[in-house]
Amino acid sequence: MSMMTELTYSSYNSKKETGMVGLRNQGATCYLNSLLQSLFFTNAFRKAVYQIPTEDEANKKNSAWTLQRLFYSLQTCETPVSTSELTESFGWKSRVIFEQQDVQELSRLLMEKLEVQMKGTPAELALPNLFVGKAKTYISCINVDYESSRIEDFWDIQLSVKGNKTLDDSFKSYINVEIMDGENKYDAGSSHGLQDARKGVIFESFPPVLHLHLQRYEYDFNRDAMMKINDRHEFPEEFDASPYLSADADRSEPWEYKLFGVLVHSGDLNAGHYYAFLRPTKDGHFYKFDDDKVIRATNKETLEENFGGEYANGAGMRQPYTRNYSTKRSMNAYMLVYIRKSRIDDVLVNVGNEDVPAHLAKQVDEERSEAIRRKKEREEQHLYMNIAVVSDDSFREHHGFDLMSTDLDPGDPALPTTYRVRRTMKVGEFTQLVAEDKGLDVERVRLWAMVNRQNKTVRPDQPLRDPEDTVETAAFKLSSRAAPFKVYAEVREPGSDGKVVWPETQGPNASVLVILKHFDPVTQTLSGVGHVFVKKQSKVSELAGPILQMMNWPAGTSFSLYEEIKPSMIDQLKPKQTFQASEIQDGDIICFQRTQSESELGPNVLYKDARQYYDYLLNRVMIKFAPVKPESDDSTFTLALSRKMSYDQFSAKVGEYLKVDPTHLRFAPVATTTGNPKPFIRRNVAHNLSQILTTQYSAYGNSGQRNDALYYEILETSLSEYETKKLIKITWLPEGIIKEQPFELLVPKQGNVTDILQGLQQKANLDNEVMQNVRVFEAHYSKMQKELTDKFGVAGIMDTISLYAEPIPEDEQNMKEGDFRINAFNFDKEPNREHGIPFKFVVKPGEKFIDTKERLSKRTGIRGKQFEKIKFAVVSRAMYSNPTYLEDDDILSELVGDSDSQLGLNHVNKNRNFLSKSDNIFIR
């Protein structure tokens, strides 16, 4: 295949050239793209995914649904497909998207998630039938007829590259037999005693689709870092797996496998690129899937060039540690996909559009049609313009500044009606359109151009007088350049003769258009009322007639008048002045307020005149309040508050809403990046809400906080008393580590652990006998830190640690000579992926681990099948040390002689969707 030029590559059309499309890279998701393409072309897997029922849960939080959408898009799209919906359904944030992750871990997590979602569906056994094989771990005595073994399922096989030149070498290394003799003899029980034995792993069966992960990374002790192994490792296009099977395995069908996928990594541990070579059909060619590009590949490019090892011509790159040139390729295979030859037709079964769930295809097709429509709309956008029409109807529903607001929800009656019309439409035609929408004769409607004034208000300025002008011309001549073109629709009642007479707006007899608003102090509302025309030489007091008529108020009703010049400038008008002397012009807004006595207003009126209310509107902010600990769906609410409110004023408003004493409330800012509560705000009567919501406020330096939200907490005591105490979060462990009872205790800041225990006894209702032997200890990242004495001060307990209390077990209280304690912790596959609750455990000298496990089950409270799934290991505190897994005949006391060792319990983290460290990958 000839090398493409950069220009050719950029214009290359994968669908046209290969019939297939690639996946877009979100940042560092090329590893995900490689895995997804491999799974997509495992047709039986794709078909099984389509069989998951998603109609009742078709949303972006459902990873099965987003995977179905992704596969359907790969099946039918003409252009590269995005994976953002899928990663969003996994719950991944940008940090995960921009980090390289472990493909084997991701593959296992995805399989686990899908297997759960396939339960009870036609696809329930599809994944195990495709990907699961069986391997036997055994210890077999050489001289007597005795064997200890267990058969386990595997979804993939991890093969060593280091020291193995070929795939066959790696398999032989995997099933290599270890001879247990001399001091390492196997204890075959009372019947046979210590015996020479063979220890190893052998395969009972392989799955139809065999995923082989090549171990390309290992810890280098000399460099104290994980290093990539770029050694040459050859793998065949076809191989026979029967030599790696046990003698008892079923051989009625050949165990011959054919290569269908090579997943490649180019680069080193910290940076690099992933791509895949896949064979989509039974006897077809390999294709290179490199993110959004799909290119036909040769067998040499697929196999030879991904074995790793030395470059043929000696070209290489500088090694950062040795400063010597390495001639080893940095691009090499890390995962292989083989399909059993006798099952290829079953695995590569034809998948058509008829296999796609109907609801899914319908929705995706509708979305594509909508996208095409929007694209066409964008392409024709230059032919059209938007016109926003403000009417008296929308104005009456408006309760803010000016005549309109554009940041309202769709469907809000105060929202102006927006028309999308051709720029060549005549003003007369557009007026006809507006009139028809309102059910009016066109003679009763006159449109006014609205302009953005220098004081940043938007007001009607002059009528659109020429019906033959195009709307584009009218907008250019009469209005501001800002889109959309805004107009005010004036509606006039016909006279007694049935004709409509429009007030003059030009010349010596010109009238001025005045917009009227009403402020009601009792209801604390500002509303649009309508419009009137006045003569410039008339007195302001002459507004009384139309106002009394509009409001249906009795004659003689007294009221005040204010001009809304701009949000920060509200001037009271003098009734005896003329409109000209008051500088009233077309489009000006006058607000009126009826005069009322203190008794009429009542004691709870906050803003007693329009100026105060306008100031509130100017400083109004919508604040969302959420409980630190959500108790119900309706515990989150939003309040309209003023930025000028003091701490006590806004606290009173929140207390009024929650129906609690405001002195029993405290508040915390919301972190912008995580959405979590930041340190609680101290009450300060000198600060207002605006200062509290700004990043400069607070002694804690609350940078990066939201200015529209606060967390709240309802306290058992007043805030002033609360601030003399420290909140201690402690978990009581009544039965090992399986039952947790979290409590929050208020302890004097000068108190100690004794005060914590007294509070715990009261909260947990514990009797005195139990409290005589209770241990309090700290844990960090699920590992034991230290035990706390009764006199340890609470001031020394950091908020970042986890605090636990438990009854001291009997075997600890009654330790015998030679017994000693060891720290134990839980982890998931790797020791640096800690989870759960750590604990102390008594180690007894000479005790076989099979007996130790009985005590561990009692100590932890974990029993039955759940306990059987745990693998136990001795783990050194060294960061990259490998765990030493324990067998039933091992003596724990001989393996943990130094204080540096800990006991590790390897089992699945049930809460793995919580991303506690950046190196954990998860699927929600």
For 517-544, the three-class secondary structure string (H helix, E strand, C coil) is EEEECCCCEEEEEEEEEEECCCEHHHHH
Under 8 Å between Cβ of 730 and 760: yes
Dihedral sign computed on CA atoms, order 74, 78, 80, 84: negative
473: which residues sit within 8 A by CB, 6+ positions away? none
- What H or E segment, with its residue span, contains residue 788? strand 783-788
**How far, in Å, CA of 888 to CA of 523, rounded?**
79
Alpha helices in 217-280 (DSSP H): none
CB atoms near residue 617 (< 10 Å): 16
**How far, in Å, CA of 211 to CA of 224, rounded?**
30
Catalytic residue chosen out of the listed positions 211, 233, 265, 273: 273
Q: Which residue in this structure is represented by tokens 């340190």?
A: 679
Residue count (the chain): 924
Is 549 in a helix, a strand, or coil? Answer: helix
Under 8 Å between Cβ of 524 and 606: yes
Under 8 Å between Cβ of 289 and 22: yes
Residue type, 858: K
Under 8 Å between Cβ of 387 and 429: no
Residue type, 158: Q
Q: Which residue in this structure is represented by tokens 């500002």?
A: 526
Residue type, 486: K
Under 8 Å between Cβ of 290 and 22: yes
Which pair of tokens denotes residue 354? 């008829």
Burial class (CB in 10 A: 0-12, 13-18, 19+), 420: exposed
Residue 45 carries which DSSP code? Answer: H
Q: Quickly list DSSP for 274-309.
A: EEEEE--STT--EEEEETTEEEEE-HHHHTGGGS-S
- The reply to whether 141 belongs to the active site is no
The overall longest dimension of the chain from CA atoms, in Å, is: 125
Under 8 Å between Cβ of 118 and 222: no
Going by their DSSP bridges, the two strands 774-780 and 802-807 should be labelled as antiparallel
- The reply to whether 273 belongs to the active site is yes
Q: How many helices (H) and strands (E) does the chain have?
A: 28, 42
* Paired strand residues for 572: 562
**How far, in Å, CA of 733 to CA of 766, rounded?**
12
CA atoms within 13 Å, Cβ hemisphere of 40: 25
Under 8 Å between Cβ of 196 and 180: yes
* Paired strand residues for 620: 642
404-414 exposure pattern, b = at least 16 Cβ within 10 A, e = fewer: beeebeeeeeb
Known catalytic residues?
A: 30, 273
